[in-house]
Amino acid sequence: MAEAAPTVQLLSPDGVLQSDATAEQYRPYIDALSDEQLRQFHRDMVVTRRFDLEATNLQRQGQLALWPPSHGQEAAQVGSARAMRHQDHVFPSYREHAVAMIRGVDVVDIVRLMRGVTHGGWNPAERGNFHLYTLVLGSQALHAAGYAMGITFDGIATGDPETDEAVVVYFGDGATSQGDVSEALVFAASFQAPQVFFLQNNHWAISVPVSVQSRTPLYLRAGGFGIPGIQIDGNDVLASYAVTRKNLDEARAGDGPRMIEALTYRIGAHTTSDDPTKYRLSHELESWIARDPIVRYEAWLRSRGEGDAFFAETATEAEDFAADLRKRTLELTVPSTDRIFDHVYSESHPVMDGQKQWLADYEASLGAEG
């Protein structure tokens, strides 16, 4: 069995910078950040929480088919996303809204997906290399491994972290049970691909607790694949940033894949279709609310002298972001039925052409009758 290592935590739940040996090891990554960068982490988290709430409300008002909230997981997502370099590629699951926003995806595009007007629709190359959301659990882990293998095969790394590429895949504790995730770990290790497996262990896969998926801390599983694994306090944005930064830079430098398990919690429902009171206890939820990532970070920023003005400004920015999201959501239109047939193949296809024509004629005939 792999050796257990301490969970990396740089900020305690009450917002005090830690000074144990593990924390000290990651301190230089934090010390290198400017005040503005540190403020940005807060902005990212606050804006994410606010638009997440807005999207949840939009769903309740019948505007979206579904919304999977990221509430509670902001630190894990913001820290890891801010640790990436611009050339990195991201293969998400379906809850990585903060990562998407930070990489340059228009949040309305995620809303479009959840509204049922697209299955994806953005071009990763124009959106910070943030690939499409993947709903079939674990599939994206292999895509990420393949992409990372391709980076290795290209052989263009120069040793400069500013240009050398790496890949991050996001997945949940439930998804770790999928064969695809294990296979991805095997492939990434076999080809020593520059890939970081970023696992958000939010403790629940819908109604199933993580104990059903694993009897060992999940980061220790990586060791069995020959991949270094590390566990972090996923509600600590500084730990998420520093540990991801270090591991990504090691991966891009040719040291092989890495796995990070971020311990966090899904504060909300699995999706707006779910009722978590059916299966989980309120005291567990409360204990995690007490470890809120935003509260903790705000306390630390204040202890460093950040004043009310910044926090008020951020709150306003979040309100504006949410209002804009709502406005643009309500403006979304239903795509034309051509969308059914377009892009099924990359080139013109006789069956698609024929059926598209049939539907057009059919709809015209209905119009004529009506």
Ligand X SMILES: Cc1ncc(C[n+]2csc(CCOP(=O)(O)OP(=O)(O)O)c2C)c(N)n1
Whichever of 18 and 140 has its CB closer to other proteins, that residue is: 140
Q: Is 18 in the site for other proteins (CB under 8 A)?
A: no
Binding other proteins (rule: CB under 8 A), the pick from 40, 57, 63, 118 is 118
Among 37, 61, 163, 207, binds other proteins (CB under 8 A): 207
> If residue 314 lies in a helix (H) or strand (E), which one and from where to where?
helix 308-330
With binding defined as CB under 6 A, does residue 212 bind ligand X?
no
Question: Among the candidate windows 55-63, 111-119, 132-140, 221-229, which touches ligand X by CB under 6 A?
Answer: 132-140
- Print the SS3 string covering the chain: CCCCCCCECCECCCCCECCCHHHHHHHHHHHCCCHHHHHHHHHHHHHHHHHHHHHHHHHHCCCCCCCCCCCCCHHHHHHHHHHCCCCCEEECCCCCHHHHHHHCCCHHHHHHHHHCCCCCCCCHHHCCCECCCCCCCCHHHHHHHHHHHHHHHHCCCCCCCCCCCCEEEEEECCHHHCHHHHHHHHHHHHCCCCEEEEEEECCEECCEEHHHHCCCCHHHHHHHCCCCEEEEECCCHHHHHHHHHHHHHHHHHHHCCEEEEEECCCCCCCCCCCCHHHCCCHHHHHHHHCCCHHHHHHHHHHHCCCCHHHHHHHHHHHHHHHHHHHHHHHCCCCCCCHHHHCCCCCCCCHHHHHHHHHHHHHHHHHHHHC
Which x/- pattern, by CB under 6 A, does the window 263-292 give for ligand X? ---x---x----------------------
C-beta neighbour count of 21 within 10 angstroms: 8
Active site amino acids:
266, 270, 279
Q: Which of 2, 17, 33, 65 binds other proteins (CB under 8 A)?
A: 65
Measuring CA to CA, how many Å separate 27 from each of 9, 21, 39, 239, 241?
A: 11, 10, 17, 9, 11
Q: Does 368 bind other proteins (CB under 8 A)?
A: no
Kindly tell me which residue out of 2, 108, 253, 359 binds other proteins, with binding defined by CB under 8 A. 359
Helix axis angle for 74-83 and 293-303, nearest 10°, is 60
Q: Is 63 in the site for other proteins (CB under 8 A)?
A: no
Candidate residues 117, 157, 253, 299; the one interacting with other proteins per rule CB under 8 A: 117
Position 172 contacts ligand X (CB under 6 A): yes
Q: Distance between CA 107 and CA 102 in Å, rounded?
A: 10
Of the ranges 22-30, 35-43, 115-123, 251-259, which one interacts with other proteins (CB under 8 A)?
Answer: 115-123
Contacts of 358 (CB under 8 A, 6+ apart): none
* Residue 136 is a binding residue for other proteins (CB under 8 A): yes
Assess 177 for contact with other proteins (CB under 8 A).
Answer: yes
Q: How many residues bind other proteins (CB under 8 A)?
A: 43
Q: Is 114 in the site for other proteins (CB under 8 A)?
A: yes
Examine residue 261 and tell whether it contacts ligand X (CB under 6 A): no
Q: From residue 253 to residue 292, what is the string marking binding to other proteins with x (rule CB under 8 A)?
A: --------------------xx---xx-------------
355 binds, among other proteins, ligand X, none (CB under 5 to 8 A by kind): other proteins
Q: Is 54 in the site for ligand X (CB under 6 A)?
A: no
Query: Out of other proteins, ligand X, none, which partner does residue 202 contact, by CB within 5 to 8 A per kind?
Result: ligand X
Q: Which does 95 bind (CB under 5 to 8 A by kind): ligand X, other proteins, none?
A: ligand X
Of 32-40, 52-60, 197-205, 356-364, the window that binds ligand X (rule: CB under 6 A) is 197-205
Interface positions with ligand X (CB under 6 A): 95, 135-137, 172-175, 202, 204-206, 266, 270
Interface positions with other proteins (CB under 8 A): 65-66, 113-119, 135-137, 174-180, 205-208, 212-213, 273-274, 278-279, 334-335, 337, 339-341, 344, 351-352, 355, 359, 362-363, 366
